[in-house]
Amino acid sequence: MENEEPRGDKDGMRRTRTRGCPFCANDAPAISYKDPGLLRYFITERGKIVPRRVSGICAKHQRALTLAIKRARVIAFLPYTTNY
Partner 1 sequence: MSSAAAAKLPPRSYEVIYILRPDISKEAAERVAQRVTDVVSREGGVLTLVENWGRRPLAYDIAHKRRGLYVYINYLGDGALVTELERNFRMIDEVIRFQTVKLEDAPESGEIDPELLKFEVEEFNPEEEVERTLEQELGLVNSPAPRPSKEEFDAETTEESASDDVEAAPASEEKTAESVEETPADKEAE
Q: Give contact residues for partner 1 (rule: CB under 8 A).
A: 33-34, 36-37, 40, 71, 73-80, 84
Q: How far apart are CA 61 and CA 13, in angstroms?
A: 29
Nearest alpha carbon to residue 15 among 33, 1, 34: 1
Contact 22, 58 (CB under 8 A): no
Query: Please, which residue, 7 or 80, has the CB nearer to partner 1?
Result: 80
Residue 71 beta carbon to partner 1: minimum distance, rounded to whole angstroms: 7
Nearest alpha carbon to residue 20 among 56, 50, 51: 56
Residue 9 beta carbon to partner 1: minimum distance, rounded to whole angstroms: 41
Residue 68 beta carbon to partner 1: minimum distance, rounded to whole angstroms: 10
Query: Please, which residue, 34 or 48, has the CB nearer to partner 1?
Result: 34
Q: How far apart are CA 39 and CA 78, in angstroms?
A: 8
Query: Please, which residue, 16 or 67, has the CB nearer to partner 1?
Result: 67
